[in-house]
Structure 1
Amino acid sequence: MNERIQEIISLLLEKPDIKVTEMMDKLALTRRQVNYTIGLINEDLKAHGLSPIKRHSNGTFTYTDKLQELLVADKNLNNNFPNKNRAEMILLYLICNVDYVSLDDLTAIVHYSKTTILQDLKIAEQIVNKYHLNLKYNRSRGYFLQGSEEQILRLATNIILQSSDNLAGNLLEKFAINKDIVKISLNLITKFEAKFQVSFSDKYFNNLKLLVQIIVSRGLVCKSGLKVDGFIAKTKEYQYLRKLTELSNISDFYIKWIALEILSSNVFDKNNSEYSPDEIELFGFVHQIVEGFKSRTLVNIQDQSRFEKRLLNHLRPACFRVKYRLPSIETLNLDNDKDEQLLVNIIKDLIKPLEQWIGTKFSEDEVKLLTYYFGYLLFDNANSQKISNAKYNAVVVCSNGIIMSNILIKILKNIFPEISFLGTMSSREFSESDHDFNVVFSNMPLKTKLHNYIVKPNMTSTEKTTLRYRVLKDLGLEKVDYQLNALLNLIAKYAKVNNEAKLRNEIISILLSDSEKNDRKGEDAGELPNLLSYIKEKYIKVISSKKTDWKDALYQALEPLIEDNKVEDQYYFELVDQISNRYNYSFLGQDIAIPHAVPEKGIKDDGISLLISHYPIKLPYGKKVRIIAPIAFFHMDKYLNAINQLADLSTNDREINKLLNTNTSEQAFTILKEYVERGE
């Protein structure tokens, strides 16, 4: 099965309603090329006794639900490499062979003419130059990759992680690596998973096998004397690898690189509760980041300890990738709107201490991944009151790591409140599981008789709507279908319908539109309320008492919200309990306390009040503040802009000093108003 066939099948499975014009655009193909490829697929379907793909006059397709079996049944590509991968495959072969390689050998490997291979070698030379390597040519002996061993292994890592593992795997298995090294590599990774009680994500597991094969094959021939830096040397993973008899014939430098490939690989799960010194140190940063996020967004994190452990399992490999300039196989495209940018800026600010620790800034891709994950904490917070009457059980099978798996399941929970999601698993775990579920969502085709839907994290609103309609219809939950037919019949009764298919699709989009859009109630969907939407002049008090009991101060601060029917009296007692807790982290900057709780604790509407004191107010456990700002957020999906403006204000010493020196609520409100309007 060639690459174009795979791409078209994958696209049909991922987006069943795709039209031929969109397929042409996405794959950069002509209509004739699409039709020809569909014809080839239909020949394969016929050979497997399956119904062919049919293309309709409106450009859409219909096909058998067993189409994905064709893709799963033949994952191995043939020997002909696609144009875009040939240069990288040539480089991979040169990396695995430390001696010269002739042009005849290269033509035998990729099955193209010498003229084509010579053109590919020019592309390969451009690639290696970016790594400060040279592609040397000897007329009698052939081609040779010359340069730093460190850079050669970094190049190999980038090629493996960013290309199809089928291509690289086929090349290494058939031409480059002997079977003994293949066996050593697989045993090493399997033993490692058992020893450290970890499970690598599917993609990283497959890539690790190939990378370890390359490193071992070079390590058995090359004898690098480069030293291992302390950041890797102190890890328990490196120390374990040094003791393995399988690696006794290679130098510490190559063991370091095997350790680095392992340390930078995303794990799907980790059960080992024993932490190495670097993990303990990193855990402190994780807790600091989570507490900072809570403070900046007022999100309520259920089972924070478990969340921090899962975040540690993602951040640790991310730190090694960032420090040693290795790529991630997980990428996300975020919408460039103000909400997303607010979260990106928060995450960038929170990870600065972590960046100082590793000595390198996080890449945009790594920041976006963290932003997306933390963003779904806000989604959970905003939707915590929603009740689901589940009739089906589902799992999410994801070939990537912990973060991506959790992002995917949170998205799907939002789309399908009717379905109970039991959790996430890797494809390896899925193949070994006893099915106590009847629906499977995955980011790649699976060999299963259950309902299997291909999904991706960054789906558009249209893609979410289409997926929801398709799944509900397949599962017999298509209440929307009845509404749709009723509407179509009603419209047909009083009007002539020229394009029923288009009308049907637009009605579906309306019936299944995101509920959050309906909650805007006329508000500009591109803007979130600012701080002035929550604070009124009458919500501000200024006091000058030298000795004020903190409970009295809290009540004075909260009283305007009680009187304005924003909160109930019981909210005061909830905030007293919160401030009395030794582990209370409800503070911004050095001077502001922001006691707050979830809506169920007595919030009736949105509001923020301020009590400004000319003298410090002593709180429990030695804490002192000059401003108490009780926060009440009833609409949990709109406050992000306001709380970030308050957080930024708390770090602006000039503006805080202005507030602390005011004598009236009018003066204080004017300072706030001017600050917000300046947009500092």
Structure 2
Amino acid sequence: MAKAPGFVSLKEILTTFKISRRTAFNWLKTINQQLQAQKLDQVVNIPRYGYKLTDRTKKSLTQKIAKVSSPQMGHETILNAHERQTEIILLLLDQEHYLSINQLAKMFHCSRNTIIKDFKALKRHFPALKIGSSRLGHRIISDENSIRLTVYELLLRQDKLVYAFINRLNYSFSQAKELVIKAQQQLHMSFSENSLQQLTYLLLFTKWRITHNQTIDRSENWQWIAQNTKDVLPTCTKLLGKLGGNKELKGEIVFLSKIFLCSQATEVDCINKNLYHDINNIAQEIIFRYEQLTEQQISYRVFTKTLCNHLYATFFRVKFGIPFSSSEVDEIKWQYPVLIKFTAIACAPLEHYLQKKLPSEEVALICLYFGSVNNREYREFTESDKLKRALLAEVLVVCSSGIGTSAMLYHELSKTYPLIKFSLPLEIRDLAKIFQHNYQAKLIISTTILPKGKYPIPAVKVKAVLTKHDQTIIDSFLRQEVPRKLEHNASAVNSLVSIINEYADVKDEKGLRLSLDKFIFPGLQKNNKADLPTLSNLLPAKHIKVLRKKDQLKWQTVLKWGCNLLEQDEIIDQFYFEKIVQLINRYGPYMLIANNIFLAHAAPSNSNKKVGLSLILLDQPLEICSRGESAWVTCMFVLSPGKEKEHEKALEQLVDIVRNQENINRLLKAKSPQEVRQFLLSFY
């Protein structure tokens, strides 16, 4: 309320802190008691408007209002639902006896219902963490492996409460960090700065648990790690010994080995040759599939290597069942939903190799790599080039989250502020080099917290995937430092149109404005998908053929029928069929976009007259064999992509439908082209 410009409704309070009405009223009562004790005006409550602090009270408060005691943080603060739930986990870890709901409600000054909801939320968010309950209260009953993974997940989320908890254990952070650095050198790995920090804190927590005789016994992956990696087990054995643990604790050694392998790194050279070649081939297959879906050329050396390094961590996380968590994943899913859909289809080779489906969080991370390639400036720069560019930049970009997020952050900043010179993503250690030379930068945009006062220019902390809040903060700083470069398009365009009108007879002023706007601010131009053809436009009933009770057909025959439906309307020519056949013969049946759903297509060429789509629906699965691989198909779509990506919206709609197995089952039951079309269009 101290920061709110007007009234705050009861609903906003309940939503923000995820508390019950009773808890909210208890908090307000406590707030008023504390304000009264400080001789300040109490909270104003006006029915139908909400709650508000008087200006006098706002001016008098220099810290957060309504401070309630927090048992773990060591000082008084107000906790939101997420923080309260983290505190409950830490309390249960730090105490051997039971904790009752009444005790927790009293500690957090909230109702029993709020604590009960917190326990339900913990069960949803951390399913592996088992919390037992009895008449005595609650306590953690999980094995030590699950406890360790829960803390690791909180560290991945950069949870400040967990960092504070581990800091209070009074172990040396610098010594633990040195152990991680030496281990990565021995393993020929190069961790991102975030990974380095997370591993260090996990080591400190591990030391605390081992000291209290809480050790991991599970070591079932020992043999697999020994056979498929180099020096990982010996390195982690030595590290555990230096940490003060027993070198014979095989479960602890295996756990540390898994976490090291799962951590994000820019260089990885500790796996055997067979696994290295397999992952490298999978990375190339994923890139190829993505290119075929999006008609975007991205297969260059640096990108392939970068994606490959990321896939090592993805592979190990999925194989070992170690969940990835990040505060930015939800933002990625919200900002790039279409990109994630295409990435999920492209990642099929990795899922096939693992014999497991990739979690949505992993797909979201991989999609960042594809999103980052839109800006070609980021491709082939050496370290020397990066430094030279940084010295000329107006804004320095510092990212410690990994290569994919670094590239995406740079791309988003360049697109949003096309007139401002940004450095390529830097690491924290690069800043010292830059400020030793003549630099032009006026601001640092960083995804990690930088020490206050250490650098001669201000720094802004943002997420790697920019939120609206982040952009507001950046705008505020840039308007102070480079206001002329943040002027809206209309200002510059209006001036130019006025000048041109003085010397020429402009017949189409609107068209002139659009052209000038596109020329001056190319980074701000976005594809207007509202104007793109939909699935309804591209798939009329005459482009659908339902085959029932046919003898076993060859896939070439079915493909030819699908092409003929498009050829009859002069959407493609007779050579388009041959182009698709050549691709299948060369790369195998890679065009599966879902179970039994085949999207036959080739890149735009002279054989594509215009964008179009056809469908052959079969009542019996059809086998496509090529290059030693086979796929069973019951729906074969034939797509003629547009030269300007006119097919994107229809493809997005199609993917939404067929990625759901229930929808596929319903589609296969259709008895006529009209029924197929009616079903597909019922979604939009």
Task: Answer yes or no: is 1:400 the counterpart of 2:411.
Answer: no
Q: Secondary structure at the match of 1:424?
A: coil
Distance 1:121 1:79 in 2: 16
Alignment-derived partner of residue 443 in structure 1:
447
Q: What displacement does 1:632 show?
A: 2.0
Q: Name which of 368, 371, 379 aligns with 1:376.
A: 371
Q: What displacement does 1:241 show?
A: 1.0
Distance 1:645 1:421 in 2: 36
Q: Name which of 625, 629, 640 aligns with 2:651.
A: 640
CA contact (8 A) 1:539 1:609 kept: yes
Q: Name which of 177, 180, 186 aligns with 1:186.
A: 177
Alignment-derived partner of residue 217 in structure 2:
226
Q: What displacement does 1:229 show?
A: 1.9
Deviations 1:396-419, CA, capped at 9 Å, x for gaps: 322323443343233334324445
CA contact (8 A) 1:161 1:328 kept: yes
From the superposition, tell whether residues 37 and 192 of structure 1 become closer, same or farther in structure 2 (CA, over 3 Å). farther
**Aligned ranges for residues 86-485 of structure 1 at < 5 Å?**
119=107, 131-132=129-130, 148-154=143-149, 156-157=151-152, 160-161=155-156, 164-165=159-160, 172-173=166-167, 176-179=169-172, 182=173, 184-220=175-211, 222=213, 224=215, 226-230=217-221, 233-234=225-226, 236=230, 237-244=232-239, 245-246=241-242, 249-250=245-246, 251-267=249-265, 269-272=266-269, 274-275=271-272, 293=290, 300-303=297-300, 305-306=304-305, 308-316=307-315, 318-319=317-318, 323-324=321-322, 327-328=325-326, 330-333=328-331, 340=337, 343=340, 347=344, 354=351, 357=354, 365-366=361-362, 368-370=364-366, 373=368, 376=371, 393=393, 396-418=397-419, 423-431=424-432, 440-444=444-448, 446=450, 447-449=454-456, 452-457=459-464, 459=466, 471=478, 474-475=481-482, 478=485, 480-481=487-488, 483-484=490-491
Distance 1:457 1:436 in 2: 28
From the superposition, tell whether residues 225 and 617 of structure 1 become closer, same or farther in structure 2 (CA, over 3 Å). closer
Q: What displacement does 1:280 show?
A: 6.2
CA contact (8 A) 1:342 1:641 kept: no
Task: Answer yes or no: is 1:594 the counterpart of 2:587.
Answer: no
Distance 2:340 2:419 in 1: 29
Distance 2:596 2:525 in 1: 35
CA contact (8 A) 2:156 2:324 kept: no
Distance 1:379 1:366 in 2: 21
TM-score, normalised via structure 1 length? 0.58
Q: Which one-letter code corresponds to 2:612 in the other structure?
A: G
Q: What displacement does 1:212 show?
A: 0.5
Deviations 1:436-461, CA, capped at 9 Å, x for gaps: 98564323454544575544355567
Q: What displacement does 1:309 show?
A: 0.6
Distance 2:653 2:432 in 1: 47
Q: What displacement does 1:196 show?
A: 2.9
Distance 2:537 2:680 in 1: 11
- Name structure 1 gaps, 5 residues minimum: 9-18, 41-76, 101-114, 139-143, 385-389, 491-507, 660-666
Q: Secondary structure at the match of 2:397?
A: strand
Q: What displacement does 1:242 show?
A: 1.7
Task: Answer yes or no: is 1:629 the counterpart of 2:638.
Answer: yes
Deviations 1:190-246, CA, capped at 9 Å, x for gaps: 112222343333333223222202212433552848241217754543342124552
Q: Which has the higher contact order (CA 8 A, sep 6+)?
A: 1
Distance 1:462 1:124 in 2: 30
Distance 2:605 2:472 in 1: 31
From the superposition, tell whether residues 190 and 540 of structure 1 become closer, same or farther in structure 2 (CA, over 3 Å). same
Query: Percent same amino acid at aligned positions?
Result: 15
Q: Which one-letter code corresponds to 1:594 in the other structure?
A: A
Q: Secondary structure at the match of 2:649?
A: coil
Distance 1:351 1:549 in 2: 21
Q: Which one-letter code corresponds to 1:405 in the other structure?
A: S
CA contact (8 A) 1:558 1:609 kept: yes
Distance 1:374 1:477 in 2: 32
From the superposition, tell whether residues 549 and 512 of structure 1 become closer, same or farther in structure 2 (CA, over 3 Å). closer
Question: Is the deviation greater in 605-614 or in 292-301?
Answer: 605-614
CA contact (8 A) 2:575 2:607 kept: yes
Q: Which one-letter code corresponds to 2:169 in the other structure?
A: A
CA contact (8 A) 2:598 2:637 kept: yes
Distance 1:532 1:145 in 2: 54
Q: Which one-letter code corresponds to 1:213 in the other structure?
A: L
Q: Secondary structure at the match of 2:75?
A: coil
From the superposition, tell whether residues 444 and 590 of structure 1 become closer, same or farther in structure 2 (CA, over 3 Å). closer
Distance 1:603 1:437 in 2: 51
CA contact (8 A) 2:599 2:638 kept: yes
From the superposition, tell whether residues 421 and 533 of structure 1 become closer, same or farther in structure 2 (CA, over 3 Å). farther
Distance 1:548 1:117 in 2: 68
CA contact (8 A) 2:613 2:638 kept: yes
Q: Which one-letter code corresponds to 1:606 in the other structure?
A: V
Q: What displacement does 1:312 show?
A: 0.4
Distance 2:63 2:617 in 1: 75
Q: What displacement does 1:270 show?
A: 1.8
Q: Which one-letter code corresponds to 2:170 in the other structure?
A: I
Q: What displacement does 1:646 show?
A: 9.1
Deviations 1:586-618, CA, capped at 9 Å, x for gaps: 566779562322x5878675334679999x999
Distance 2:205 2:478 in 1: 43
- Name structure 2 gaps, 5 residues minimum: 18-51, 65-71, 98-102, 380-388, 498-516
Alignment-derived partner of residue 535 in structure 2:
531
Deviations 1:279-323, CA, capped at 9 Å, x for gaps: 666667666655655566565443363354144045146426x81
Q: Secondary structure at the match of 1:399?
A: coil
CA contact (8 A) 1:296 1:644 kept: no
TM-score, normalised via structure 2 length? 0.58
CA contact (8 A) 1:319 1:358 kept: no
Distance 1:422 1:574 in 2: 43
Deviations 1:475-509, CA, capped at 9 Å, x for gaps: 46537458449979x9xxxxxxxxxxxxxxxxx9x
CA contact (8 A) 2:315 2:354 kept: no
Q: Secondary structure at the match of 1:255?
A: helix
Q: What displacement does 1:162 show?
A: 5.1
Distance 1:284 1:263 in 2: 19
From the superposition, tell whether residues 297 and 32 of structure 1 become closer, same or farther in structure 2 (CA, over 3 Å). farther
Distance 1:248 1:430 in 2: 35
RMSD over aligned CA atoms reads: 6.5
Q: Which one-letter code corresponds to 2:425 in the other structure?
A: T
Deviations 1:10-53, CA, capped at 9 Å, x for gaps: xxxxxxxxx8459998988957776456699xxxxxxxxxxxxx
Q: Name which of 611, 623, 634 aligns with 1:606.
A: 611
Q: Secondary structure at the match of 1:478?
A: helix
Question: Is the deviation greater in 636-645 or in 619-628?
Answer: 619-628
Distance 1:329 1:553 in 2: 47
From the superposition, tell whether residues 483 and 673 of structure 1 become closer, same or farther in structure 2 (CA, over 3 Å). closer
From the superposition, tell whether residues 207 and 576 of structure 1 become closer, same or farther in structure 2 (CA, over 3 Å). closer
